[in-house]
Structure 1
Amino acid sequence: MAQNPILRGFNPDPSFCRVGQDYYIATSTFEWYPGVQIHHSRDLVNWSLVARPLNRASLLDMRGNPDSGGVWAPCLSHEGGRFWLVYTDVKRLDGAFKDAHNYITTCETIDGDWSDPWYVNSSGFDPSLFHDADGRKWFVSMRWNHRWQGSGANPANDRFDGIELQEWSAERGLFGPKHDIYAGTDLGLTEAPHLFHRDGWYYLTTAEGGTGYDHAVTMARSRQIEGPYETHPERHVITARFAPENPIQRMGHGQYVEGHDGRHWHSFLCGRPVPGPRGPFCATGRETGLAEVEWRDGWLWLKGGGQVAPIALPFEVPQAPRAAISRDFTGPELPPEFQWLRTPYPERLFTLTGTCLRLTGRESLGSWCEQSLIARRQEESAYSAAAVFRADPPTWQQAVGLTTYYNRHKFHAALITREAGARVVSLVSCLGDWQGEQLTFHGLHSCPEGDVTLGVRVNGASQRFTLNGEEMGPELDASIISDEGGKGEHASFTGAFVGVVAHDLTGQGWQADVLRFDYDDRI
C-alpha cells in the first residue's frame, strides 16, 4: 500500500490546494534557493516537483539570512484563474525579535514566471490568503509579540499573540479594520492559520505546539469571519503528542482540501524518528503526510477516529518504487533535486559546462551569504552517495568535496585540499557547537592523482566517508545532521542534505569540477 510520508525528506509546512483533479502541495524551503517547493499529483500518491517559484532577486534574496530563516510556511491557493502564493522571508529568528516580511505573488500557471511580489506586512509569520465567496480577500496571520511575559494574548506562549485578520487587495494592500479572531489553546505556539468556508461556517485551522514532538493541527469555527471562534471539541484534529510509540511523530501544520470525488483530505507535517546516541532524531527532517478526514456534527475528524494519522494511505494506486539516481551534469540545467543556499545569483557559484558541474569556490561552510554548496535532500534514514571530482587545489585555502549538511553549525565534510604541497582529503565536522562554531578535524588522508571519487554511507546515526570506494577516517555521528542535533529541535527546523561544496578563502574564485553525483537510498 501507499504510505506516509508522501513527500519524503525535508518538505515541511504543507499548504494543500486543488484545481479540478489536480492537487498541489507547497512546502517551506527556508534558506535554500530557489524558494518554495511545489509538488503536483492527480492520484494523491505519486507526486512530482513542478515548480520552485521564488527564483529571482525581485522575489527573494536571502543573502545574510540566518540558518532556519528565509522562506517559512507558504500558502498556495487558486482563484480567478490564477495561483496565489503567500510567503514569509525571515531575516531574524533568534532572540526576542522576529524580522519576518510577508509577500504575495501570483501566476496563471504553476510553473510560469510568477509576478513581482506585493509586500504585505511584517507583523508575524506563516500567513495565508483566504478568497471568500463574495470576492473579498482576507490576509490571515499570527502576530508576534516581542515584549515581556504576560503582555500577549495566549496564556501558554504569549509571544504568539493570536491570529489576526484583515482585508487585502492588490490595489489597496491591507485595508479596513484588523480583527483578532483567535488566541489559540493552552498548548500554545499558535501559528500557520488557514481559513475555509463550509455549510455556513468559517473554519480556522492552526498549527500549535511548536515544530517538535508536541506539534498539532488545531481547529476552530465561527458563523462570522470576524469571529468569535470556538475550538474543536477535541482541540486537535491531528497530533501524535499522546502516542510516543508511533513510528511517525511531530504531526501538525497542514491544510484541508475537499477532493474532486467528494472525499476529504488534510495534509500535515511529520517526522520519522530513528534511534540516536542522545535519543531519537529525525534523520530525514520534517516531511509531508496526508490523511483522509470526515465531517461529523459540523467538525472535521480523522476518518476512522483518533488523532494520529495512519501510516498506510487508503488507495489502490501503486506507489512508484524508489530508484538509484545518477547525474552526470551534461544537461543545460541543474538536476531538479538540487538546490543551493540563499543567493539569487547562482552563476557566481556554479556553471554547467556541458560535461560537468563547475564549482567556483566562494565563502566558507560557515557563511550566511555566498556558499558554493549544491545539495539534495536526504530522503531515507539510510543511503549512500558519491561524487567524482576533478580538482587541483593550490593551497590549504582552497578545497572541494562532499558534505552531509544541515546548517553552518551542523555538518561533516570530506574536502580535497593541499597540505605541505601534497594533495590530501581533510575530514572536518562542526558538531553542533552553536556559539563557538568550533571545527573538529578527523585527520588528513593521502589523495591519489587524477579524478577522485568521494563517497558517504549513512545508516541512522552512523556515517562513514569513502575515498575511491575505501572507508576513510572514523565513524561519524550522523544524528548531528538533524533538527535534534546541536542546540535542539526548536532552535533549527530544516532538514538533512548531501551534496558538493567548494570554497576559496582567498576570495579569488578558484574552480573545480564535479563529473558525476550518485544517490541511492534503497538500502
Structure 2
Amino acid sequence: MVRFSNPVLPGFHPDPSVCRVGEDYYLVTSTFEWFPGVPIFHSKDLVHWRQIGHVLDRASQLPLDGVRPSGGVYAPTLRHHEGVFYMITTLVDGLMESGNFVVTAADPAGPWSEPYWLSDSEGFDPSLFFDDDGRAWVHGARPARSPRHEGHTEVWLRELDLNRMKLVGPEHVLWDGAVKGAVWAEGPHIYKVDGAYYLLASEGGTEHDHAVSVARASAVTGPYTGSSRNPILTHRNLGREHPIVGTGHADLVQTQTGEWWMVLLAMRPYGGYHYNLGRETFLTRVRWEDGWPLADEVRLTAEAPDLPAHRWPAPPACDHFDAEWLAPFWNHLRTPREPYWTLTERPGFLRLRGRPESLTDRSNPSLIARRQQHAHFAAHAAMEFTPKGEDRAGLALVQNDDYHIVLALHADGLKVIRREDGVDRTLVVADVPAGRVWLGVEAHEQDYQMLYATEPGQWRPLGDPVDGRVLSTSLAGGFIGAYVGMYLSGEGTAGGNVADFDWFEYHELPPH
C-alpha cells in the first residue's frame, strides 16, 4: 500500500481548487495581497505538485495598490471546458477595482487573459459550473438578503453567457448552510454526478469550527436538500490539540480510475494554538454512500490515490540568482509598479533598489519573499550593502504591516526588530565591519534564532531566540501565512541605495 504525506502543498496555500484534464491535474490557491496572484500547480497523481506559473502575473490583471492585509484575491476556482481553462475569483477591497472576475487561457501555464469583470455580481468565493447542455453557471457566496444572525450568508446562482462573458437570466438563491444558525456559508462548488446536482459548501468560518456540507437537487437551480450526514467533513469535534484543524473550503475531483478525492484547506498549529504557516492544502479520499459523498478524516499520512506516482525534480534549496527571471516561488507584497529589483544589472546577484516604502506601510516595499513552509526551517542569505541615512536592508519575516520580524543592517549596526500590534521593539544591536555580511534565521516552532557571519561559515547567534508568534494568524489575525525574504527600505526617505544578494537558501530542519 502506497502512502502519501499531508499537506500536499505546505505553507500558505489556502482555498484550493482543482480540475482534471485527461491524466493531468491542475490546482490554484488564494494569494490575497501578494503578487503575482493565484499560483497554478500541475500534478499527475494528486500528491506531487509542481508550480508552472501564476494566473495573475501582470499589473493590468491584478491592481493590489493599497490593499489591506488579507484583502486582495480570495478563493479562486479553476475549471476546464472545451479546450479552455477558466479561473474565477474575487478582488476584495481593491482601491482601483473590486469584485468578481474571470480570466481564461488555452494553456494553464499562461498567458492568461485580461479580467472579464462581472459588474452585476456581488459577494465572494465565486465558482463556475459547466452543464452537459453547454450552459455555464456562476455561483458564489454573499451576505444573506434577510440575515437572521451575524455571519449569515447565502449561495446564489446565475447563468454565464460565455460569448459576452456576462451574467444573464434570473438569480437563484440555493443554500445558506446546513447547520441551524450556520455562519459563513461560502466556497460553493456544483458538480453533476449520475444526473443529480451536488452543491458542496463550507460553513462555520475558516477557523477551528470550519466544516464542509453538501446538498443535492434534480435541477441546477434547485431546490437543494442537505444530506442528513452533514457536515461530511469537519475536525472541530476532534479538539484544538489535534494536529490538523480548521478543515474546510474543499473542491472535489474524480480520477481517471474512478476514485473521488477532495482538496481542502486546513491548519497545523504548533507552539500552542498558533499557525505561522497559514492555511495549507491537504488531500483526502471521498467515498459515496446512499447517493451522497463522504470525506475521510484528514490525516498526516494516508493511502495514496490509485494513480502511478509521478515525482517532479526537486527544486534546489539555494537560489543563486543566475537565471533571467525570478523563480515562481518568489512574491512581492502588493502590485509592483516599478522594477525595484534586477537580476541583470549585476549578473549572479539579486539587486534591490532602495525606495521610501517600508514594511510598515500598506504599499509595495522593496521586498522579495517566499512562503515559510515548515515549523522547523532555516533561511540564509549573503548580502552586500552599505547603509546611508535611514536605509536598512536584510532579512524580513512578514505576517503583515503590523506584525513582522526584521534582521537588517542599519547605519548604526545590525539590528533585530520585532514588530507587534504596530509597535517596533529593537531586541539587539551588533557592530559589523563593512563588506559582505551573511544573514540567517533558524526556526524551531515559535523560537526564531537570528544569525549572522562576517566570514564564510562563521555563524553566530544574534541575541536570544525571537518570539515568533507575531507571525501567527491566531495573534496577527487575517488569512495569511508567514513569508521570509530579502528587504531594503529608505524608511520614508528618497532612497537610491542598492542591496545586492548573492544567494538565498531555504530548507526544512529536523525537529529538536
* Shared fold (TM-score, shorter chain, > 0.5): yes
Match of 1:7 in 2: 9
> 3-state DSSP class of the match of 1:480?
helix
Whichever residue aligns with residue 53 of structure 1, its letter is V
Whichever residue aligns with residue 282 of structure 1, its letter is Y
Match of 2:372 in 1: 378
Deviation of 1:100 (Å) = 4.7
| Aligned mates of 2:262, 2:314 — CA distance in 1 | 25
Whichever residue aligns with residue 223 of structure 1, its letter is S
Match of 2:456 in 1: none
Whichever residue aligns with residue 29 of structure 1, its letter is T
Deviation of 1:155 (Å) = 4.4
| Aligned mates of 1:314, 1:2 — CA distance in 2 | 6
| Aligned mates of 1:323, 1:508 — CA distance in 2 | 34
Deviation of 1:509 (Å) = 3.1
Deviation of 1:312 (Å) = 1.9
Matched, 1:248 2:279: no
Match of 2:288 in 1: 295
1:323–1:132 CA distance, 2 compared to 1 (3 A):
closer
| Aligned mates of 1:329, 1:342 — CA distance in 2 | 22
1:341–1:321 CA distance, 2 compared to 1 (3 A):
same
1:324–1:471 CA distance, 2 compared to 1 (3 A):
farther
Matched, 1:180 2:173: yes
* Cα deviation code 1:132-155 (max 9, x no counterpart): 11111111011136xxxxx63464
Matched, 1:234 2:205: no
Whichever residue aligns with residue 102 of structure 1, its letter is N
Among 460, 463, 471, the alignment partner of 1:473 is 463
Match of 2:484 in 1: 498
Q: List aligned pairs for 1:7-406, cutoff 5 A.
A: 7-91=9-93, 100-121=98-119, 123-144=122-143, 152-153=146-147, 155=149, 157-158=151-152, 160=153, 162-170=154-162, 171=164, 173-185=166-178, 186=180, 187-244=182-239, 245-276=241-272, 280-303=273-296, 308-315=297-304, 317=309, 325-345=317-337, 347-353=339-345, 354-362=347-355, 363-395=357-389, 397-406=390-399
Match of 1:96 in 2: none
| Aligned mates of 1:82, 1:522 — CA distance in 2 | 41
| Aligned mates of 1:156, 1:182 — CA distance in 2 | 16
| Aligned mates of 2:47, 2:165 — CA distance in 1 | 40
Whichever residue aligns with residue 203 of structure 1, its letter is Y
Whichever residue aligns with residue 466 of structure 2, its letter is L
Uncovered stretches (5+) of structure 1, i.e. residues with no partner: 94-98, 146-150
* Cα deviation code 1:312-356 (max 9, x no counterpart): 232284878988701111111112221111114351345443220
* Cα deviation code 1:42-97 (max 9, x no counterpart): 0122110112010112211101100011111000000010100001111169xxxx
* Cα deviation code 1:1-56 (max 9, x no counterpart): 31111011110000011000101111001111100011111012211011201011
Whichever residue aligns with residue 266 of structure 1, its letter is M
1:192–1:352 CA distance, 2 compared to 1 (3 A):
farther
Asked if structure 2 preserves the Cα contact closer than 8 Å seen for 1:333 and 1:352, the reply is: no
Asked if structure 2 preserves the Cα contact closer than 8 Å seen for 1:324 and 1:520, the reply is: no
| Aligned mates of 1:467, 1:89 — CA distance in 2 | 40
Asked if structure 1 preserves the Cα contact closer than 8 Å seen for 2:341 and 2:350, the reply is: no
1:156–1:223 CA distance, 2 compared to 1 (3 A):
farther
* Cα deviation code 1:171-218 (max 9, x no counterpart): 161111111111113332111111111112111111211111111111
1:323–1:15 CA distance, 2 compared to 1 (3 A):
closer
* Cα deviation code 1:341-385 (max 9, x no counterpart): 111435134544322000012201112222111111111101111
Whichever residue aligns with residue 506 of structure 2, its letter is Y
Asked if structure 1 preserves the Cα contact closer than 8 Å seen for 2:450 and 2:461, the reply is: yes
1:92–1:208 CA distance, 2 compared to 1 (3 A):
farther
Asked if structure 2 preserves the Cα contact closer than 8 Å seen for 1:87 and 1:126, the reply is: yes
Aligned residues: 491
1:508–1:311 CA distance, 2 compared to 1 (3 A):
closer
1:263–1:105 CA distance, 2 compared to 1 (3 A):
same
1:265–1:14 CA distance, 2 compared to 1 (3 A):
same
Asked if structure 2 preserves the Cα contact closer than 8 Å seen for 1:55 and 1:344, the reply is: no
Deviation of 1:427 (Å) = 1.5
